Structure 1
Amino acid sequence: MTILRIAARTHVGRVRTENQDCLLINTWLSARDGTYAREQVLRPGEDPYVAAVFDGMGGHAGGSVASRVAAATLAARPLSDVEPGTITERVAAAARAVQTVSDDVHGLRGLGSTVAGVAVTATRFSVFAVGDSAVFRIAEGSVGELTVPDRRPDPHRDGATVLTQSLSMYTSSPDPAVETYPIVRPVRLLICTDGLTDVVAADDLRALLAGPIGKPGVPEQAVTDLTAATLKNGAPDNVSLIVLDLVPPDPREPSR
């Protein structure tokens, strides 16, 4: 069995008046600003545990609707496994749900959402993302991004970028580029919206995520510290983040 320790927070930031992000942790969805912390045992044969962040887009009304519709669709039923095809199908279903709302509800045309997340079993985890939310792995004092932002330079604005895909009416078949990794040693993952990465430098991420992997309370402290750093740096956007530790059985210990 694998021990999972997880903590999360979503915050409106210092500039926006509404939080259009959404957190999904298994079947729990955030309602506006919120926090979450839990420890759980992952056993072989159980349904995958899913954690993800969603960053809504589409104006004052549309962004919050899009992120919550996408999150609710992903949470609607358990994943059967962490295979790329299974996750891609569920992400595509989330995009179709957002598209349906965009088509059917007056005033919400053009809404959308990014997503970044992980699906975890007792022996492996899969990483997926659409848009510019991200997943990072923290190991041996380094922080490595496991996702590639779906961004390209904006031809109309110097130095700006635009999304190349999202969960929206403009992306009929999103490609989450799922990657799967075995859990062979303790690992820490950070899942976050660009409200964090746009204002907190990589060196600061590494320092604030450097606590002992697997130690109780460290994910909660990391979430608190990362949120504080974002707010200190102005937090012009909503910020949502999840820190989770995965601790597999020690192979040196006899099985029970």
Structure 2
Amino acid sequence: MNRIAEDVIGSHMRVAIRYAAGSDVGRTRENNEDSAYAGPWLLAVADGMGGHVGGEIASSLAVETLAPTDAEVPQPALVDTLEHAVLSANQAIAQRVEQEPALQSMGTTCTAMLWSGTQLALAHIGDSRAYMLRDSILYQITEDHTLEKMLTGEDGAAPHLANRLVRVLDGKPDRKPDMSLREALPGDRYLLCSDGLSGPVGAETLHQVLTSRPEPEAVVQTLIDLANQAGGPDNITVIVVDVVAEGVDATPPVVVGAAQH
């Protein structure tokens, strides 16, 4: 579903954030363990793990805990506000595991953005990803927290390690996300996704789709279709965000995947 939100920069420029989100179970999984949230200020993708039920619960808890952060936050407080929300999500998972010990193996990735004007805070833990398309160049702006990345420093060097996560939200202490503050410019396009997209669909294809389709909703659907055409080995969750220099009315947020139910 496509949604549009507005923010005002100074007295002259209006910056609109246009966004769309979608999630698909893929071709090989029985249930969708991904969750995502896209709203006027907050965007988040969570890829759950831990078995048939556990992954759904972990990703849903993360999105449900983050959702109240979807509000206007002063720019100096962006990073702290988002980091606190992610740490609260980890605590919510810890509490659920304490209540139901059978869920002790569950966890979730979390890649989230919190916006204020032309600034955004980025929080990241796990191997979901955020990309930025600027001036027709695609940048991966998160780093995968996998054993492969930790040992080799580069993707593709040890395929058998690719999916071994070393940092996730699983309720254990010290699960701190990577945090950064970024400047967004009109014309930027952002992609947040689970590895169900970034695994089977390469960066060149991502770039081609992101640069060739103007509407975020069309990009989301095309990317999901491409991941499924490549075998759909995992759940596929995608958020696409455009930053444009024009004012439009805000509309309600979108929740997709396991957290939707």
User: Which TM-score band applies after superposition, normalised by the shorter structure?
Assistant: 0.7 to 0.9
Taking the aligned partners of 2:120 and 2:69, their CA distance within structure 1 comes to 18
Q: Tell me the equivalent position of 2:170.
A: 168
SS at match of 2:108: strand
RMSD of equivalent CA atoms:
2.1
Kept in 2: contact 1:122–1:248 (CA 8 A): no
d(CA) in 2 for partners of 1:124, 1:78: 15
Structure 1's unaligned 5+ residue stretches are: 27-39, 41-48, 251-256
- TM-score normalised according to structure 1 size: 0.81
Corresponding residue for residue 127 of structure 1: 122
In 1: Cα distance, 2:221 partner to 2:52 partner: 27
The 1-side partners of 2:55 and 2:138 are apart by: 30
Structure 1 or 2: more helix by fraction: 2
Unpaired runs of 5+ in structure 2?
1-13, 152-157, 248-261
Q: Which residue of 1 aligns with 2:141?
A: 146
- Superposed, which structure 2 residues align to 1:9-88 within 5 Å? 9-26=22-39, 49-78=41-70, 80-81=73-74, 83-88=78-83
The aligned counterpart of 1:234 is 231
Distance in 2 separating the partners of 1:77 and 1:191: 18
1:131 shift after superposition: 0.4
1:244 aligned partner: 241
The whole-number CA distance in structure 1 between the counterparts of 2:180 and 2:15 is: 20
Partners of 1:91 and 1:174 within 8 A in 2 = no
Residues 179-235 of structure 1: per-residue CA shift (max 9 Å, x gap)? 2122333210000000000000111000010037xx5xx111111111111010001
TM-superposed CA distance for 1:105, in Å, is: 1.3
Greater than 6 Å deviation, 4+ residue runs: none
State the TM-score, normalized to the length of structure 2: 0.79
Q: Secondary structure at the match of 1:147?
A: coil
Counterpart-to-counterpart distance in 2, 1:66 and 1:54: 8
Report the residue type matching 1:248 in the other structure.
A
Does the CA contact (< 8 Å) of 1:127 and 1:146 recur in 2? Answer: no
Query: What is the percent sequence identity of the aligned residues?
Result: 28
Q: Quick one: which amino acid aligns to residue 166 of structure 1?
A: V
- The higher relative CO (CA closer than 8 Å, separation ≥ 6) is in 2
Once the two structures are TM-superposed, the CA of residue 11 in structure 1 deviates from its matched residue by: 0.2
- Distance change in 2, residues 1:158/1:13 (3 Å): closer
